[in-house]
Amino acid sequence: MKFCSHCGKEIENDFSFCSSCGKSLTLDENVQTPQIMPQNPINPKSNPIKKFIRQVGIGKIIVAILIIVGIVFLINIISKPSIIGTWIGDDIANFEWTFTEDGTLIGMTYAGGSKNTPATYTISGNQLEIRYKLLTNWHSTVYKYKINGNKLILIDEMYGQINTFTKK
């Protein structure tokens, strides 16, 4: 695209006179080819994120992120109270349950059964599932559980019962 140097109107490449002002056009003097300059040139070296990555290095950034994630993970593990240990029931029966690290529950009693009814437990999120053997069959009860300091609260939503225990 070319423009007349006298009036600024756009002209065809093969014209010798401007069709708008009628002035004579010569390639050297009167015809100008505009140069388009970007309004806001982007300098990749001035990008602060790229500059930071270039100075620090991607490897160090990844190591820093992994360290932060690890610290958060450890804080969550350390701050979460454990069910492992012996808990004494707060109701009239005052029975004891001992949760072991291997998933065994010791001290389970049910409906006139012996104090050492075979039982196991698993935890998933805020749910505690207790499996116990009553006579010849295995049964299961799922509780929502919460540990509040030295208190264990078991909520049996099926029967609407709430059992509380104190850590021994």
Domain boundaries, the chain: 1-37, 49-80, 85-167
Q: Which tokens hold the place of 109? A: 């009693």
Q: What is the third-level CATH fold of 85-167?
A: Lipocalin (2.40.128)
Spatial strand order of the sheet with 105-106 comes to 105-106, 96-99, 85-89, 161-167, 151-156, 137-148, 127-134, 119-124
Quick check: helix, strand or coil at residue 37?
A: coil
- So what's the pLDDT on residue 60? 82
Cα–Cα distance for residue pair 163/130, rounded to 1 Å: 14
Structure-token match 């160090």, residue found? 60
Q: What are the pLDDT digits (tens) for 146-156?
A: 988 889 999 98
Mean pLDDT of the chain: 78
Within 13 Å and on the Cβ side, how many CA atoms surround 146? 5
- Rounding to the nearest 10 degrees, give the CA dihedral for residues 74, 78, 79, 84: 140
Is 140 within 8 Å of 120 (Cβ atoms)?
no
Q: pLDDT confidence of 30, banded at 50, 70, 90?
A: very low
Confidence band (pLDDT; 50, 70, 90) for 92?
low
Give dist(CA 163, CA 38) in Å, integer. Answer: 73
Q: Which of 124, 77, 130 is nearest to 99 (CA)?
A: 130
Query: pTM for the whole thing?
Result: 0.50
